[in-house]
Amino acid sequence: MVPHTYTLPDGRAFVVRHIRPDDKARLAAGHARLSEESVRRRFLASKPSLTRGDLRYLTEVDSVDHLAIVAVQASDPEALVAVARCIRLPERPDFAEWAIVVGDPLQGLGLGGHLARTLAEEAARVGIRGFTATLYGENQPTQALMRSITRDLHGGWAGPGVRELAGELRAAA
């Protein structure tokens, strides 16, 4: 399934692949292009830039306990525009913490849903049967993505405005 090309209805094509250690500069540039609101929704805080440690952690993954799928523009492979990732929970190795970020101009066009489904399929292949996510309660788009790839989604409030959700992967069913 990975790598492959995904094309939006408007004809724009993206290469979907696993993240690589050489994506550090591409990831930093993609992060810099995100709006403050997109960064806040992804990290639950302001994060103007990614540190060297962040970039190492986010790009040097093992694709078993830490999986990350990226989308780059087919016409410009240096333009990393979206990331979906999951990190296996040590206390419950059949579940993983899930997160996604899509560049602002591409939000709501289907790329995030495609990445979420692709990541869920990859996660199921390595024995992950469910995802958890911590997100702002008002973040309806990400909650909808989570519902689209999981079944029996449940959760509660983890603090002021913050929800914790969990559900079994549809791909693992």
Q: Is the pLDDT of residue 139 over 70?
A: yes
Residue 58 is part of which domain span? 4-169
CA separation for the pair 21, 62 (Å, rounded): 11
Instruction: Assign residue 62 the CATH number of its domain.
Output: 3.40.630.30
- Across the chain, what does the average pLDDT equal? 95
Name the DSSP class of 48. S
pLDDT tens figures, 124-137: 999 999 999 999 99
pLDDT tens figures, 74-83: 999 999 999 9
Model confidence, pTM: 0.94
Q: H-type helices in the chain, by residue range?
A: 24-33, 36-43, 52-59, 111-125, 140-149
Q: Which residues of 153-169 are buried (b: 16+ CB within 10 A; e: fewer)?
A: bebeeeeeeebebbbbb
Give me the pLDDT at residue 147, please: 94
Confidence of residue 102 (pLDDT cuts 50, 70, 90): very high
Number of domains, the chain = 1
Q: How many residues does this entry show for the chain?
A: 173
